[in-house]
Structure 1
Amino acid sequence: NRWETLFSVILTFLPLLFCGAAMAALPFFYESYPFWYVAQWSIPAAFILCSGAVVMLFFSKRPGGMKGIVVSLSITGLLYGTCFAGLAGVYASDHSSKATANCIARYKAPGDLVIQYRGFDQGLPFYLRERVILLSHSNDMDFGNSHEKNRFWFTDEEGLRNLWNKDQRVFLVARPEDAKTLETLLGSSAATLRVSEKRMVLSNRPVTDDEFPETF
């Protein structure tokens, strides 16, 4: 039935156009990242969605066009999925612990310590393949804190200051908004290795790429 086909297309056509417009506008509102960092995926996604909508509208005006509509919708979905995966990677880069762990692993030597300040990224020990010291951890670690016999793994600000001033290298994972607090606590000697929207990585000793050439 032609009217049923047209009605079905409208229900798909309008959402696709709306989503396409939203994708095109996304880089202008996603201020956490550089414009082209998001636009490289969102603009192609917008083009794919809008093109798919136009193609479906074209087939809706042809007799027996439902087959063409289904095929075009399938192709649109596959192409859009590729772009969406790229956008998901942009988002995951700041919300996954992998990038933080990779930054630490790049310079970390056996015996170096990793401390997380005010929080606990559960993926961090997984990617580092070792335990991390927690300071002002999240509430879900209260049980472990109360039953941990080795207090080394749960420290406080005084313990952090003591570890920071030793010769042993320390990597500190914290939130960017805690930078001023940490500067007051630790002084201005911290070397910044990485800063993202959610996490920053500091070290009590400067590191250089030449220091650990075997990590490359």
Structure 2
Amino acid sequence: MSTIAMAGLAAALGFLLGAATTRPALRRLRRELAAAVQQAHHDPLTGLPNRTGATRLFIRFAEAGRSLTVTLIDLNDFKAVNDTYGHDAGDALLVAAADRLSHTAAHHGGVAARLAGDEFLLLLPADDHDHLHPPAAALVALTPPITVTGADGTRATLTPHASAGVTYFNGLDGTLAGHLRQADIALYHAKQRRDHIANYHPGMHMPPPIQRRRRLRDHQAHRTVTRRQVQS
């Protein structure tokens, strides 16, 4: 739902609060407003916070002065799953991955979000001794096999694997967008490693052509989210 539509609902709620209105109508409008806010901040497929919701959560952590590990997770070979078994199978894999990442994040006192496609985000309280341990645990938690049904009705068992780029937020400086750029650079390096995880440091770089492709991907993902909210 668009920001304008949400503002309209909020205005209508305010009007009803000040007018003589039946309680059932007021309760219905409250439910509609709550549903609109939920839709604007959550991914409809997995139920996880989306990029907008993740940004709000990051701001809350920052306002509390909480240091975090910001981890970008990308499922390996996800396109091949869609191409081989169809989008329903791909969606089933995404839902399973979201559930596993959410449980792992909660276990470590953090949250998981889905940013776009097969890209997930973990915001986890920072471990002063080992920033990579919780993200590495999340990668392990993804690996139990999952059975999916292909477009032709055949069933297949898949073993999910992923890569993770990790960066550190000190609780004071920076935005989620800036830390996501760092985590994305680390993710690029993680995909070149056997253990599929990398911690960002200032000497890391990403080839310019890949940077351009990823900026285009992020721009398209933002437009898609905005279009869906407007259509809703």
TM range (shorter): 0.3 to 0.5
Larger Rg: 1
Q: Which has the higher contact order (CA 8 A, sep 6+)?
A: 2
Which structure dedicates a bigger proportion of its chain to helix? 1
State the TM-score, normalized to the length of structure 1: 0.34
State the TM-score, normalized to the length of structure 2: 0.32
